[in-house]
Structure 1
């Protein structure tokens, strides 16, 4: 913890030094005081919270859709060896591909409004959840599966009573990664074609060369993303400890 604080302090000192040096164009690296003032103005602006609510809704919708689809695909690929061997290599190949290249397709399919942004985030979240779930399924104790089959559990009962409890940690890790890439996907989509959301605000600030405001928005996004990711990681560790 102390090392992290020292690293953050060092980064802030370096930032302020570069800002005061005049080596870069004015406001490309504004002073920390200027950024702090812009941040306070931003948080006091009701319009900001309206844009933040739009982005939050799109990210949550994307995670719900992409996470559910990824969980279903991971369960299927992990439970069926043939399907896993047939399709998982394609998922592994597509997972690192920048999903923004599919955005024109999303626009044609879902329009220029929130639907295309949610679809962009959902596509981004799908892959880490699916791959993490499939990997977790292959680690399920065979004895648990035999117990479930000996009790003649239905497919739904096998999923809810055997598989999901056994793979809760990989699923949570996949959701944690999925959340991060869903945020990236939604924000990228908002910067490309939108009139609302935090991505739109960033591009508006950039277009006006209001660098302090742009950095203030990025700080808010970064802080919220880190906090939620840390909460999910802590919850995952708690589940692992109880397991």
Structure 2
């Protein structure tokens, strides 16, 4: 009977997952159809809303160009370092703030006040500090990434079972041991979710910085396409960036789901 119930639940989940997949495909097809109808309706200038076939042709040209991959590599490195720096700093601050009532009262308000602030206003400062090269773009992405990771880590620290903390302290674990053996494993899921959010805003920060002052990177290619009024190439670039971000976000999501499964698995 128990095995039958498990099989039934698995079948239900599979059917629900299939329905979700079908719904997603329908939404994408509907959006594509609406775009094509708008492009061919004549309501807007053709170059502003080009037909899908021209966007696909531009995408093929981009993916077959070495210049695109050179700029993709620049942006990927900038986002990677931004996520590494901003994410690491966010986790450290989140553990410090979430693990101490005094630190919470003293500093948590700053995270909430500064978190929603548009980070692009700090870009002139980044240019003065780090120059016009990749350094200012990495700093922009790291600053954008820091706050969602820090807030998620702070919330994750508060969700840790107090018994685990007391056990670690009763064994006189050092601060490093508490962090690596208790804090990080216990707050794995909030931390991964924070990194997912941080990754998204890191991409936004880096691309915005590249569109403002740069001669390389995907943001630079996007703003160049706009300046030259090459709308098919610009839309193709935006689609490629969206697809890359979606793939990485999906990987983070599966990692988070795997963490949930491990935590629910009986010892």
Shorter-chain TM-score range: over 0.9
Matched, 1:174 2:194: yes
Q: Identify the residue that residue 246 of structure 2 maps to in structure 1.
A: 226
CA distances 1:145-188 after superposition (whole Å, capped 9, x unpaired): 11001100001001011111100001000001000000000000
Q: Matched residues in 1 for 2:240 and 2:151: separation?
A: 30
- SS of the residue corresponding to residue 56 of structure 1 reads helix
How far 1:26 moved relative to its partner?
2.4
Matched, 1:153 2:173: yes
Matched, 1:242 2:262: yes
Q: Matched residues in 2 for 1:157 and 1:127: separation?
A: 25
Q: Matched residues in 2 for 1:85 and 1:170: separation?
A: 21
CA distances 1:189-233 after superposition (whole Å, capped 9, x unpaired): 000000000000001000110000001111110000011101101
How far 1:22 moved relative to its partner?
1.1
Alignment match of 1:165 (pick from 185, 190, 194): 185
CA distances 1:73-120 after superposition (whole Å, capped 9, x unpaired): 000001111111111111111111111010001001100000000000
Q: Matched residues in 2 for 1:163 and 1:181: separation?
A: 25
Q: Identify the residue that residue 234 of structure 2 maps to in structure 1.
A: 214
TM-score by length of 2: 0.90
For structure 2, the residue ranges without an aligned partner over 5 or more in a row are 1-20
Runs of 4+ more than 2 Å apart: none
Q: Identify the residue that residue 195 of structure 1 maps to in structure 2.
A: 215
Q: Identify the residue that residue 87 of structure 2 maps to in structure 1.
A: 67
- SS of the residue corresponding to residue 96 of structure 1 reads coil
For structure 1, the residue ranges without an aligned partner over 5 or more in a row are none
RMSD (Å) for aligned C-alpha atoms: 0.6
Alignment match of 1:46 (pick from 29, 52, 66): 66
Q: Matched residues in 2 for 1:63 and 1:31: separation?
A: 36
**How does 1:121-136 map onto structure 2 within 5 Å?**
121-136=141-156
Q: Identify the residue that residue 48 of structure 2 maps to in structure 1.
A: 28
CA radius of gyration, larger in: 2
Alignment match of 2:204 (pick from 176, 179, 184): 184
Q: Matched residues in 1 for 2:107 and 2:218: separation?
A: 36
TM-score by length of 1: 0.99
- SS of the residue corresponding to residue 83 of structure 2 reads helix
Q: Matched residues in 2 for 1:140 and 1:202: separation?
A: 44
